[in-house]
Structure 1
Amino acid sequence: MNEEKNKGGMMSVIAALGANVLVAISKFIGFAISGSAAMLNESIHSIVDCGNEILLLVGNKQAAAKVSDKHPFGQARAKYFYSLVVAMMLFFAGGALGVMEATEKLFHPEHNVENTWLVMGILVFGLIVETVSLRVAIKEIKALNKDGLSLYRFLRESRHSEILIIFAEDSCAVLGLLIALGGTLLSHFTNNPF
């Protein structure tokens, strides 16, 4: 039981870290080929996501530490602290960056969409990788949900905060990539940057 408590949700964190590393590399390659500032920005965003997963892994490792003289009750709640830090980073940094980028694109759209097929290829690759990561999170949720709770209730009542963060992050990533792919396709076929 204690091992399940410490390891629960970690496979999805590792899968999300791997997915974000692959997506970041593909976006950096896309930036190197196209010179697109948006692709560079997306690369940096993927690196920040990698940092989030690393924080979750650090929190879980710290939570598994044995009782010591310095911490007579252990450090089991460290993973909740790190989950809170990651959630705040996603909300404030990710949200602020998203609003700033959206405002910039709205008022100063790029009129020359170059290397559209490269961008779409990177988006499709990212969509595949993030979907696989989301699938790992869903499988882990099913394995941890021994009481047969609904997904909403499980996420609300679970003590595995890292699985909630990874599920939400991967779900938003898949949705965002679908929207970006749809927008890129519309821009390409209509020759309209809006």
Structure 2
Amino acid sequence: MSAEGGTRAIVAALLANLGIAVTKFVAYLLTMSSSMLAESIHSVADSGNQALLLLGGRRARRAATPQHPFGYGRERYVYAFIVAIVLFSLGGLFALYEAWHKWSDPHGITSWQWVPVTVLLVAVVLESFSFRTAIKESNLVRGRESWTRFIRRSKAPELPVVLLEDFGALVGLLFALFGVGLTLITGDGRWDAAGTAMIGLLLVTIAIVLAVETKSLLLGEGAEPAEIAAIERAVAAGPEVERIIHMKTLYLGPEELMVAAKIAVSRCETAEELARGIDAVEARIRAALPVARVIYLEPDIYHAEAGPVEASGRSGS
């Protein structure tokens, strides 16, 4: 559901941004407003970012190979990280440069004065529809989590990226209206430069947040506490396992969790009996947490008087 919803949100944002980018750039050519240029580049960067997210989602669906035995699920994280870099450099830094340039050589908007305000107001409407789609699709997977926690904890990068981009686009449009409006009222182009600088700082901030969160996913995140608790309950639900000696989890992609655990098993008469028990435990884990697709269970004997096998210096069975 998250991948499908993320794709819908990305496509909605891409279509909106392509149209907005063209109209903003036309408005810039007519008025030479730095805020309009910054917003034009912002929309172009957003459009490119959404194309990158779609490409990442497509490439992540490739089948596993001997060289990449766990598949390409993390490629979605790679492209999301590239999005953060593009937003930082092409969007944020360019806007800050343009603000400095306009502040050094300020000039008012003397022709087509109604164009930038009209374009910005239309862009607000279009971005609002895109933002609404992202919110609607996010709510399907967010549950009762706060928006901040959803963005920080989501394993699928597309929805948080589109949410932050659309939010940044709406706030950036308000900054552009601020700069353009005061420039039209006062005739002082430095207000236009101020609005452009505010847009640049906003985009740099959003890009840094995205980069930090995506970096964590690239490094490899484990299951959430609630997911770990569900796995532990599933393991302990049958007679095959006495206890979990230790367990580690790792997300191989947004919808694929690896579970590796050493478990203390009851003494078995035959290897066949042990194998059936492990199969039963794996089935319970997958039923409790469908995203747990890769499971490795190592059986061992737990000695209560000595503690876990690692404490006695044994390397494992």
Instruction: State whether TM-score is above 0.5.
Output: yes
* Cα 1:186/1:158, change in 2 over 3 Å: same
The TM-score normalised by the length of structure 1 is: 0.87
CA drift at 1:104: 1.0
Moved more, 102-111 or 78-87: 102-111
Unaligned runs of 5+ in 1: none
The number of residues matched between the two structures is 189
1:27-66 residue pairs with structure 2 within 5 A?
Answer: 27-31=24-28, 34=30, 36=32, 38=34, 39=36, 42-66=39-63
CA drift at 1:93: 2.9
The structure that is helix-richer by fraction is: 1
Letter in 2 for 1:17: L
Letter in 2 for 1:155: I
1:73 is aligned to 70
Structure having the higher Rg: 2
Does residue 110 of structure 2 align to residue 99 of structure 1?
Answer: no
CA drift at 1:135: 1.1
CA drift at 1:37: 6.6
Q: Deviations over 1:4-56 (max 9, x none)?
A: 25324221111110111110121243345x16374456434422321111110
Q: Deviations over 1:142-193 (max 9, x none)?
A: 11113x1111111110112111111111111111101111222222123332
Identical counterparts, % of pairs: 36
CA drift at 1:71: 3.4
CA RMSD of the aligned region, Å?
Answer: 2.0
What is the SS of the residue equivalent to 2:111?
A: coil
Does residue 109 of structure 2 align to residue 116 of structure 1?
Answer: no
Does residue 155 of structure 2 align to residue 159 of structure 1?
Answer: yes
**Larger RCO, structures 1/2 (Cα 8 Å, 6+ apart):** 1
Whether the 8 Å contact between 2:60 and 2:72 is mirrored in structure 1 is yes
Does residue 167 of structure 2 align to residue 182 of structure 1?
Answer: no
Letter in 2 for 1:90: L
Unaligned runs of 5+ in 2: 191-317
Letter in 1 for 2:174: L
1:117-132 residue pairs with structure 2 within 5 A?
Answer: 117-132=114-129
What is the SS of the residue equivalent to 1:9?
A: helix
2:265 is aligned to none
The structure that is strand-richer by fraction is: 2
